[in-house]
Amino acid sequence: MSDECPFEFSSENVNKLREALSACSMEELERIGKMSSKEFKEWKKEHGVKIYSDD
């Protein structure tokens, strides 16, 4: 099994993701961790985070 991330991020989007997640409470992070792929895709869209595999 490969340790590589299966997603492609631009450096701008990595920063957006980092900012969005660092602003979350522990409860919110736990909720995010339990999201379905569809729910997480919507969360990313709400927070302006784009992952190229979302296309």
The reported pLDDT for the residue numbered 26 is 94
Q: What is the pLDDT of residues 6-22, one digit of tens each?
A: 556 667 777 888 888 89
The reported pLDDT for the residue numbered 28 is 92
The reported pLDDT for the residue numbered 1 is 41
Q: What is the pLDDT of residues 19-54, one digit of tens each?
A: 888 989 999 999 999 999 899 889 888 888 776 655
Measured between alpha carbons, how far is 7 from 52 in angstroms, rounded to an integer? 7
pTM (global) more than 0.75: no
